Chains A and B, each alone.
Chain A
Amino acid sequence: MAKGNEKIVNSTMWSAGCGSHGGCGCEIYVQDGKVVRVEGDKNHPFNMGRLCPKGLAIPQYMYHPDRVTHPLKRVGERGEGKWQRITWDEALDTIEKKFKDIREKHGAESVIFCQGTGRDIGGPITFLMYAYGSPNWVQVGLAGHACYTPRLGAMFATQGHYSVLDASQFLEKRYDSPEWTPPKYIILWAQNPAAGCFDGFYGHWIVDCMKRGSKLIVIDPCHNWFTSRAEVHLQNRPGTDGAIALGMLNVIINEGIYDKEFVDKWCYGFDELKERVQEYPPEKVEKITWVPKELLIQAARLYAGNKPSAIQWGEPVDAMPAGTVVAQAINQLWAITGNIDNPGGNVIARNSHGVTTYPFSSAELTKLYGEDLVKKLNEKRIGANDYPMIKNFRGWVQPDVLIEQMETGKPYEVKAAWIQTSNIIGGQAADPRRHYNAMKKLDFVVVVDLFQNPTSMALADIFLPATTFCEKESFRSWWQPLGVTVKAVDGVDESRSDWEINLEMAKRLATNPIKYNTVRELIDDRLKDGNTNFEKLKAKGCWEYPPEGHFTRPYYRYEKGLLRGDGQPGFDTPTGKVELYSTRYEEWGLDPLPYYEEPKESPAATPELYKKYPLILTTGRRSPVFFHSEHRMIPWLRELDPDPKFEINDKTAEELGVSNGEWAYIENQRGKVKMKAKITPTAHPKVITAPHGWWLPETEGKEPNLFSTWEYNINNLTSMGNQGKSGFGGTDYRSSLCRITKIKD
């Protein structure tokens, strides 16, 4: 609601500010050139007027006194916290000269381009990286690349396409769409959707579906709001989700309650899968997972017996030992029950109108940047030659290989880093100390961000100030709908958008001329695939769904020949079917069928270590008011979640003599951090859950303190080098061992 002479600008949110992955429609209220308020847009089908706390705190984020709004250069030693304000010209000239020198002496591949998961970063960073000529696109320290890419890779191999739970988000009339129906059962697999909008999925759509009749089956080591409302709760040991999936496949196949018609017509390798899952009867799965077999059987029967039903899964799936195998098995569950691209099932998700902002597949990378370039760059991409799946799926560096390469300089040295949207040391990286040591040795580091953080403070030579989404133009094609971000105000002080910064840098560094003069030209060129442009979308309220019959619109596209390049019915896999026996996995030297792998550290795998560290540690517990390591400096948010807290069961805490609210150490053989105890019966007696990404922006930024990151960042207890056979998954973010000790002073 406009007050006084406020102007309203409609836009699409996509970080920075809210931080998250969602594409909420919003109204930005502007007075005297300043954003005074951000509200939800009731006419936008994504969020329908709602907003999360992070979105609602944007004015405090934008005008925060600590926000960096001018380019800076380091004038002391790295980590000394001595900065000098410089002009954009000086900053860009310095970077241009350094990057050109490094390219000439060491090759473009010696510069890594590092992103996190905020903002619309996948677009601008790949644009700059390929213009410069480096193949090394990376989320530094993200062990096993455990964030959605493993699941995407498994779905690509299995069914040729990605699927997400159908909450009607692919249709503009949403819940009123006549062709949509809610899932009868939703399996919430290792995710708390109330805390955010993971992977482009607005978490509260699950609540919307519950109100429309969806029942819940929840797989989670702890009790939470969703388990309270679930018909079945499988309270499993962390890290054993693969065994649950195999056990459910066993029950569904052996009881003959799968969709025989779909399997006969559209699946490949059913007999091989049937044979494989015989190794996982419910009795055995119970021993592995701690889940009573009766509950496993009940969950399998309810899911298979009630069509349509759908699965919503979370990041822990990626982090499992053999994350791509666990994801494959879960994908097979929705495949053999025929819950693919059906209303209320796991609908095939494609980027709206075929437009790409953030390349999610090798095909999209090739489309944007050309087959020759991507192929050529693959030769030197770090990790690509070690892992065929890494090489043949998307364009990421394998982070566990990278850290070794940074340390050894083999097969070539990493000389510089362009870090944009990533707090490596304070949030993203496992074993942050190891990354700190390795990256400290780099010749040159650029950080593009909005606030100083442990990473920028420790490493940056040049700091470039980026903008929130309120201060920039961009476009969003992440599933549906297609949208544009409209600039409501100019960049605060001298800050510039990631697109502006990267286009300008690309012009200076490119080996082939850049065809765009302005960001708007680039956006309009990308939007051509959707037969639209920025102004048209803006005039429509910032969003649009593809027309009827479009290949990015559901349902049953495999019957209609809308999925394959050749226009034939079927799926875009080598056999044209959903591959329960994966020929792609086979080609990549992997087991074509799913199997269970025990976490490297666990009561079963390392009983001696378990005596010393008798609790299972699972990290990454999400807070609804923070996005990863962001937002700790925003007063409206911080006062709702002021301290890092681990959750511990009441009986366990009593045995240890730990009281509620007491600061204690969580420790294992890799390190220890301090957190406050939250004693709660929701915690499993054998499991400690901890949030990730904690640092204290109100404390000293310069070394050695680095905003207290060494004291509170739970990743100090995690390690690199546990990647699965595919190069993906196999981290200890979600399953390692620890003990809780009292702080004596």
Chain B
Amino acid sequence: MPRNGLFIEYEYCTGCHACEVACKQEHNFSDGMCGIRVDELVTAGPDKVHVDFIPITTRFCDLCAERTAKGEQPACVKHCQAICMAYGPVTELVKAMEDKPRSLIFAPK
């Protein structure tokens, strides 16, 4: 079994929070529990202020095992409004990373 993960091209993450609520709905999490969280990163450069958002998986992310077992996308990947997330074997995701600046891979499980 290959190890699977999430590829996030955060260059395009707008911080809309769809991944977080998709995760809560899918797992029916309550009281702030969530498998993914989006952080805001504000950096003041010499000529402009940059705003980026970074989704980070938490220890509650199970990569939507029930969905992916049936060939479905994880709920966060499916609903990402910026379409900047992908699910797959980590080895494949690393290849995708080659030509994507500002990207991340998480392999939570």
Contacts and interface: CB of A to CB of B under 8 A. Distances in A.
B79 A56 contact: yes
B75 to A, nearest CB: 8
Interface stretch (A539-547, A636-644, A703-711): A636-644
B48 A640 contact: no
Of A40, A225, A624, A625, most buried by chain B (CB within 10 Å of CB) is A225
B58 interface: no
Interface residues of B, number: 34
B21 interface: yes
B30 to A, nearest CB: 7
A207 interface: yes
Interface string B47-62: 0111111000000000
Given A56-B25, A636-B25, 9 more contacts: A38-B25, A51-B81, A57-B25, A194-B81, A204-B81, A207-B82, A223-B51, A228-B51, A639-B32
Interface string A216-257: 000000011101100001000000000000000000000000
Interface in B1-56: 12, 14-18, 20-22, 24-26, 30-32, 42, 44, 48-53
A211 interface: yes
Interface of A: 1, 3, 37-40, 42, 49-53, 56-57, 59, 194-195, 203-204, 207-208, 210-211, 223-225, 227-228, 233, 624-625, 635-637, 639-640, 680-682
A59 B25 contact: yes
B83 interface: yes
Contacts of A637: 21
A53 B21 contact: yes
Interface in B60-85: 66-67, 70, 72, 75, 78-83
Of B15, B25, B79, B80, most buried by chain A (CB within 10 Å of CB) is B25
B14 A204 contact: yes
Given A1-B67, A53-B21, A57-B25, A228 B12 contact: no
Contact of A624 (B16, B25, B51, B66): B16
B25 A40 contact: no
B48 A52 contact: no
Given A40-B79, A57-B25, A624-B15, A225 B20 contact: no
A223 B78 contact: no
A228 B16 contact: no
A458 to B, nearest CB: 31
B76 to A, nearest CB: 10
Contacts of A636: 21, 24-25
Contact of A39 (B14, B31, B78): B78
A40 to B, nearest CB: 6
Given A233-B48, A636-B25, A225 B81 contact: no
A210 B83 CA distance: 12
Q: Which 5 pairs between the two chains have the least Cβ-Cβ distance? A: A194-B14, A53-B21, A223-B49, A56-B21, A204-B81
A637 B21 CA distance: 7
B12 to A, nearest CB: 6
B58 to A, nearest CB: 14
A204 B16 contact: yes
B80 A50 contact: yes
Contacts of A233: 48
B23 to A, nearest CB: 9
Given A52-B81, A639-B32, A37 B26 contact: yes
Contacts of B20: 53, 640
Nearest to A58: B25
Contacts of B14: 194, 204, 207, 225
B60 to A, nearest CB: 14
Contacts of A53: 16-18, 20-21
Contacts of B48: 223, 227-228, 233
A508 B92 CA distance: 65
A58 to B, nearest CB: 8
Nearest to B70: A1
Contacts of A635: 30-31
A674 to B, nearest CB: 23
Of A38, A635, A640, most buried by chain B (CB within 10 Å of CB) is A640
A681 B22 contact: no
B18 A208 contact: no
A583 to B, nearest CB: 42
Contacts of A204: 14, 16, 81-83
A225 B44 CA distance: 13
B67 to A, nearest CB: 5
Contact of A49 (B32, B50, B52, B79): B79
A682 B78 contact: no
A208 B18 CA distance: 16
Of B21, B48, B80, most buried by chain A (CB within 10 Å of CB) is B21
A56 B70 contact: no
A194 B12 contact: no
A217 to B, nearest CB: 14
Contacts of A50: 18, 78-81, 83
B82 to A, nearest CB: 5
A120 to B, nearest CB: 23
Contact of B25 (A37, A223, A225): A37
Contacts of A39: 75, 78-79
B79 A51 contact: yes
Nearest to B75: A39
A625 B20 CA distance: 11
A49 B16 contact: no
23 contacts: A1-B67, A1-B70, A50-B79, A53-B16, A53-B20, A56-B18, A57-B24, A194-B15, A195-B16, A203-B81, A204-B82, A207-B14, A207-B81, A211-B83, A225-B53, A227-B48, A228-B50, A228-B51, A228-B52, A233-B48, A635-B30, A636-B25, A681-B42
A624 B17 contact: yes
Nearest to A193: B14
A227 B47 CA distance: 12
Contacts of A194: 14-16, 81
Contact of A208 (B16, B72, B83): B83
B21 A225 contact: no
Nearest to A637: B21
Nearest to A52: B18
A207 B16 CA distance: 12
A1 B48 CA distance: 43
